[in-house]
Structures are given as C-alpha cells and as structure tokens.
A and B are shown apart, each in its own frame.
Chain A
C-alpha cells in the first residue's frame, strides 16, 4: 500500500475534526475527496503534510512503508509528499527561483541523488513554467507575493511539477480559478500523472473532476468517509448535493 490511513482521529483546540477515518491509496491511483464545508477535508490534507497544530488522538498513517508520524514536515516532502495549498502563503522577499532550487535539492539530497546545478535548474524551471503558461518574469518575483488567485494556484502546480512528488494532495486547487485557468492547472496535473505516482484531490465541485478523472471518489462528512465509489458519486453530488450523505 502506498498510503494507508487507518482509524485516524484528530482534534484541534478541543474540537474533534477527523473521526476514525480510513483511506487507502495505491501507486498510480487518483482519489478525490468531496464534502461540504467544515467536513475536515483540509484538516486531512494538513495532517498528511505534517502541520503541527493538530492533536492526533488515534490511528496511524503509513506512507511508502514509513510511519508518517515518525517524519517531520520536511522529511515528508523529501519522501515525495506534496501539498498544493488551498491558500498559498505570501512570502515577500523570498525569491521563487532560489527557493525552489533549494527545495528540489533538499529532496535529491535525501534520496542520495546528485544536486541539480544552477544552470540545469534554470532550464528545468523555464520549461515547466512555459508548459503552465507562466510568464518568465513571474519567476523573478517573491513567493506568491502580489499574485492573483489564479497565479497562486498555477504557481503551486509549477512547484509540484518541479518537485515531481510521489503523492500530490491538491487542496481545493479549483477554488478561485476561472475556466481557462482551471484548464491550464488541470492540464498540468494530467501531464504529471504516471503509473508510479498518486493524487489525492480535495474539492467541493464535480467541475474539477471533469478535467482530472479520478479512479475513486470518497464522500467525507463530519470527519469520516461515509461513501466511496467511482465517478458516478461525483455526478450524484452534483445533482443532489451533500444533504443525503449527512
């Protein structure tokens, strides 16, 4: 099993958010989690990425034969986990290019791979940016600073394509995107899909799943997965909403 979440319960500030959640993802699979506001979808994404604000009450998570709780935030990233943020953080003064260069090399170092030099990295970045329709001038700017909502999401996908993760978690990547931007972003994701990597896509709407075809769709309500199945569930939600699952 690539990612195995077993009986996971999590709380924050005395509020139980995830309740005995189970989820298994195999290599090469695309899973979508849909659910109403406040159902715990982003909490799950943050817990997987290692955010330290949450208290793990119960359960375990295995990722690539590691106990995930033994790895800190950066070790999870270096092991191949990537979270595309719902609200990417603006970091004025931190230039995109050296930041990403340092990020890719930290992963290579952990994998005992040779670090990528400046020139090769610049070429790689330029080519990936061009694929995503990102203007080269944007790469001279500070991380997410002054970016529009669409630019921020596109930049998340650029980082993902550079870091080439084994498991990518997309937390409401479709929110705030117009239809053209949504197409560019989803094209970027589809280009990255291989039989060796997996995706966990968190969304409210079926629209995103028209562009990225999931193998499995899960409905999450009140901190637990209440139904799992194929794309037909997404269509059902689109038609009837989440009411009947609650």
Chain B
C-alpha cells in the first residue's frame, strides 16, 4: 500500500504552517523577540567592527600622511642619514615637541604640540583649515596653524600672534584636522603647525626636551611595505630610529581598540546565547501546546513526517523573519556607533552594508531557531493519535540518539559561532566548555536542592508553605528547567556586568584628595628654585619635586645591548634596548607601587655597584630579576647597577611612575631636570600660574590634569554609554528568556491551581503557594547564576582582558533582587487569570 498522499506537496505543508502560525502569532512573539534581539546585537557589532577595520585599512595612508616614516627622538646618526639618502631623500620632514604656547593678545596659555613642517606633508589626506587656503599659506607666510578648538576656547582670531619659546608668530588659520590625530589624543596637547625653519628660533631645543624627528616618504604604489619594514627596521633600531609604514600603523591602530572590540563581541555572544535560551524555552512551550493539534492531524491521516515538517517550516520561517528584522535593526543600530565614538577613533567611519554580515545574520536566525526547536520537534514524531480519545499524561518517548545528535549540533553551532566572533579556536572552545559547565553546574544545584528538600522536608509547616515546597520536587515539577533557564540568564547578564566593570575600571580615574592636578615638566636644574618660588608666591603648595635623569640600557647581565639586539634568538623586548629611560632617585616607595620581589634599598653610594629597583613590566621585557646586573649609559658615563627589587606599578594612576628607580646618593650630580607637581585650587589660579610660568620659563611644559581628567572622563562616559546600551540589549533578551521560562511553568501549574480552587482554596492561599514557589526558585537560580558569573568574570579578566578583577556589589544589590522580583511578577501575573475566573472557564480556555 502506498503511504504517499501523492498530491499533498510542499505547498500544502507551507499553507498549513502559515495558517497555524498566523493564529499563533501572539504565542510566537516571545520566540521572535529572542531571535530579533540576539541577531540585532550580533549584526550591529560585527558589521561595525568590519567597517572599522575596512576604514582603518582604507585610510591608513591618510592616517599617517605618507607611505612610511622614519622617526627618532634624537637627531639622526650618520648611518640613518645615509639610509635616508639611499631611499632618495625624504619627501618631507618634521620636528615636534610639546611646549607651552602663549597668546599675548588675550593673556592665554596652553600646552600644545608644536610641529615644524617642511615639504609637502601631508602627502595623503589633507590639512583641513579655516580659511582653507591657510593650509598652504602657513609655510610661505611663516605663519602658524593653531588647533581650531584652542582658537575657539581662547577667543583667538586669524592675525593674532602665538608665542612659542622665544618667537612670536602670526596665526594664519585654524587647524580643523591633521592626518593621524584623533581629537581625544590631541586635546591634551592640541597641535600648532609652524614652518620647520622657525623651530631653531624658538630656542626650545635643549637638554631634556622631548623632541621627535620625523622624515616622511612617498613610495611607488607597488612598493612592498612589509619588505621595507623587514629590511630597514633592524638597522634603524640599532641607530635609535624607527620605521613606521602605513600598513603597520593601521594594524597598531586596530589593536588599540582590541579590548573594546573583545567586549562588544562578548556582548554579541551573550545576547545571542540568551536568544538561544529564549528560543529553546519559547519553542518548548509552543510545541507542547501543539501536541494536541498534532494528534488530531494524525487522526485525520497526516504522516509523522508531514506533521514534523509543518512545524519545522513554521519555525524556520519565523527564524528567517526574525533574522531579517534583527539584521535590519542591527544595520540601523550600527549607524549610531560612529556618532558616539567619533572622538575616540581618529578616522572618518563610513558605514556601508556588509553583505557577509547581513547574510550571516539572516542565516543565524534560521539556524538558531531550527537547531533549538529540533529537540521539542522530535517529540512530535512520537505523538500518538490516540491522544484525541484520551489524554496521555506521560511525556512522549524520544530517541536518545536523536537527542544526543541535536545536543551535539547545538554545541557545534555555539563553537562555530564563537569562533566566527573571536577568531581564536582556543577561546571558542573554552567558551563552549564554559557554557557546558554552567549548564551542568546549574542542573547539579537544582537536583541537589530537590534532594535536600525531600530529605529534610519540614513536616510541621503549615499547608501553604508545605504545598509550595512540595511543588519543587514532586512529579511535573519545574525546578530543573527554571533553575537552568533563569540561572543561565542571570549568569550571562551578571557576567556582562562584571566584565563591563573590569573594562571601565581599567580606564577609570579616581580623583584622590591629595593628588596633584598640575604637573610641570622639563624644569631645568638651574631653574628649579625660581620655579618653586613662583609657585609658592601664588600661595600654591609644591607637592613633589621629582628629579629626572635620562639614560639608556648599555648592557644586561653583562651582554652589551648591541649584541642582544643582533641576536635573533634573544627574548629581550626591543624597546628596552632602544628606549631613553627617564629615571628618578628616592629613598622610599610611593603609593602607586608595591614591592613584588627582592629588597627595597633607599640609599647607596657611587663606590659600590648601584642597587636599583625595576618595575614588573621592565623585569618581564628585559628578562631580569633580583641579583641581575644591568648597566646604563647616563649621557656618556657608564653606570653599573644590580637589580635589588621588582615593583608592581599601577600605571593607570594619574601620577608620575617610573620603570627604573635609583636610591639616593648616586645620581644627585648627574645631568638632570625636574618635574614639579602642585595642586591648584581653581581655574583662575591655574590660569594665573600658567601665565606667569610661561612668561618666565618658556621651556617648561605645564600639564593641567584637571583638563586632561575631564577629557578622559568625557570619553569614558561615552564609551560606557555605548557599553551599557549594548549590555541593555542582552538584559532585555534575558527578561524575555525569563518570561518564556516562567510561562512554561504556567502550563504545569494551571491545572493544580484550578483543582485547588475547585476544592475550595482561597485566592490568597493559591497566590501564596505560587509566590513562595517562585521565590524559592528565583533565589536559587539567581544566586547560582551570580556566583558562577563571579568565576567566569575572573577567568575573562585574567585570560581575555589581561587585567585584574574586583567584583562590584551591583549584581548583588540590583540584579539579585531584580531577578527574583521579575520571576515573582511574571509568575504571579500569569496566574492571576486562574484566581479571577471561575475554575471551569479557566480549564476550558487554557486546556480545551
């Protein structure tokens, strides 16, 4: 006998799926919302980061203004000059340094980055000026281009003079943008461009000044930048110069946003995982409600495969629709990112549609839905048509093999998805492992809880509390499913919260009561006393007077730096050998330091090998520890030292920290300059002091930390706004998961509530029983989730973000009661109908 209804084809199955889906729209809303939110987060984040990468790569030349640059913080050696000549000579050059600029017209002063330009810089991108002709005029007219914001702040106009060091230059235009600088990084020291030829006349090039020499090159379009980098960089390195190509710059820039990107990817991952949990719980209820329909259809002659297909088509269709809506929202949402981040990223971001991300977004919608629906859907295969005659209470038997297969599919999906996001199979694997462990632990907690209640059941309790406890472990209980879904939801949201804290804490600045808010750099030794007098004459305290001695590493453990540099097997980080260290000497540790290893020695004499203290990062990069010898070249004099201690330094504190600290009694007579710190009470005092200092000591650089702090805080606010906004997405999905999970329980509890009602239970008693049950479940699930998230946040901080993690109380104070309350509201909200209407009406409506 043929079992095929020959003419029943796909179109009929589609028709049935549509008809049924249409009138189930309300029930499918949760399902749809889970997909939409998850996909929107993934698409917006992925699409934005693709666009960011693409734009950085596209604009890499404009970012730098040239194809490659040779730069050095020392005048060039003959060898480097020879290399530049062999490259056909530089196409442009620049000398730059930070200095105070005075604006005599209105008595203003400002820390600026003075950039003396020669040649056709920028060769790519452009100097945007107001008026636009000023970009080319400033060179020919010996004028200055001053940062547009500074001009606005100080009320400057074209034609006003700017005094830099010993000379006064007329401003020919306002500088709106210059290749390679973002507004945040240039707001600390905004750029002032002047002709190269005027630099010498400023008189600011002297000992201790931090001067950068840059040589700009334009290459043939076919030139191989990587090869140039490989060939030249080692030679330049040995001569204290550096090569930067536009490609390496764009890579470096990409890395600067790495942690931020990692976090956003984590948000995407969590939003999608929550979406999956949402889908799983929504589908679970949905299919459960459809079992009766399936039994009727089977009675009317539909085959197993046909009934399976009707709901598979329906779910795939909703997945497709959810994928399309989610992707559309995601694409729209990413338009917001550049608006929020424009001060943070030094390039113009043009948002374009990323076909690959759009395709993946839609595909994800379908895949997620089908994969998470498969297990409940397999149940439809086992529905007996006999259910039309008699309700079978027992759950349909499912094939273990099919269940395992679906489960493997789900984990494979999570693995592939995390691999796509994180581009690292080890991370992806540990994420999947983390998810499995979380589920297993939550299931363990739920089972243990049920066993414990059963064993220690409080028989003496009254009817209501006893009944609510009974609900937790008797047949048809919802403990396992609710603890897992609510627990996973809480776990993911609170992990996100903790991680957000980790990330924001990394960059946060606490204003300490006694910390300085003004730093004076480059104070020459002979100016020291006069500068101190000027400060104190304004009745402003001098907080610190820190001596700075510059030096370079000469040898490590007896091996000369040159030899280590040439040794390709050496693991010593190159910067240690190249860097000009600014060191200090003092007899005690400061607040931002903790002794990690060895012994702190505060005093020594020139006669012995000098005992020094190094920072942990120096120890790591130079591969040295206590007992190792390091010698330094202090402006021509070789100084032999031995490492006595290693300090952990908190570099994020707004204070002067040092990699290398000498004891007192050694460097006092070495050539040095000073850094003074002070605390000014207000804006006016700050302006007065700066004015006086710039007048008398033009070489001294003044950093007004209050201004820097406000800029960084502003930036942090913007970033945290974005992070919060994206986190909110996940939280919203979490709430949907919660509603879905609690709705599952409605199905279980409605019969019992109606029965209790029928035999005379009062509304208050039913409500109390339900409320207590949800309260127990809420507490157990939320607590387990938060505790697990503490562990995962610790792991994330340690392995992914490479930072320390100090948990905040927020998840405990807000999330914990919040989730319990939500479980209660949703749970009781679902049951109100049972209490308000007569029992028979409820039974007929809900189950009939």
Q: Do A and B bind each other?
A: no
